[in-house]
Amino acid sequence: MRAIALRKARHVAARVERGTVLAADTLIDLDGELLGKPADAADARRMLERLSGRAHRVHTGVALVHRPDGREMDGVATSTVVFRPLSAAEIERSVVSGEPFGKAGAYAIQGGAREFVARLDGELDNVIGLPMALVRTLLERLAAAVEGRGS
Domain ranges of the chain: 2-145
Residue 27 has phi, psi (to 5 degrees) of -135, 155
* H or E element in which residue 67 lies: strand 55-67
pLDDT band at 94 (very low <50, low <70, confident <90, very high): very high
| DSSP β-bridge partners for residue 72 | 65
Task: Say if residue 1's pLDDT is above 90.
Answer: no
Write out pLDDT tens, residues 48-75: 999 999 999 999 999 999 999 999 999 9
What per-residue confidence (pLDDT) applies to 150? 61
Work out the mean pLDDT of the chain and round it to a whole number.
Answer: 96
What per-residue confidence (pLDDT) applies to 147? 87
Instruction: Kindly give, in sequence order, each residue whose CB lies less than 8 Å from that of residue 20, ignoring residues fewer than 6 positions away.
Output: 64, 65, 66, 67, 139, 142
Task: Say if residue 36's pLDDT is above 90.
Answer: yes
pLDDT band at 148 (very low <50, low <70, confident <90, very high): confident
Residue ranges of alpha helices (H) inside 14-122 are: 41-51, 88-97
To 5 degrees, how large is the angle CA 51–CA 78–CA 126?
85
CATH 3.90.950.10 fits 2-145, yes or no: yes
Task: Tell me the whole-structure pTM to 2 decimals.
Answer: 0.91
Write out pLDDT tens, residues 99-110: 999 999 999 999
What percent of the chain is predicted at pLDDT more than 70? Answer: 98
Write out pLDDT tens, residues 4-18: 999 999 999 999 999
Report the pLDDT averaged over residues 123-140: 97
Active site residues: 25
What per-residue confidence (pLDDT) applies to 151? 54
Residue ranges of alpha helices (H) inside the chain are: 2-13, 41-51, 88-97, 124-128, 132-146
Distance CA 36, CA 136 (A): 25
What per-residue confidence (pLDDT) applies to 16? 94
How many Å is the Cα radius of gyration of the chain? Answer: 17
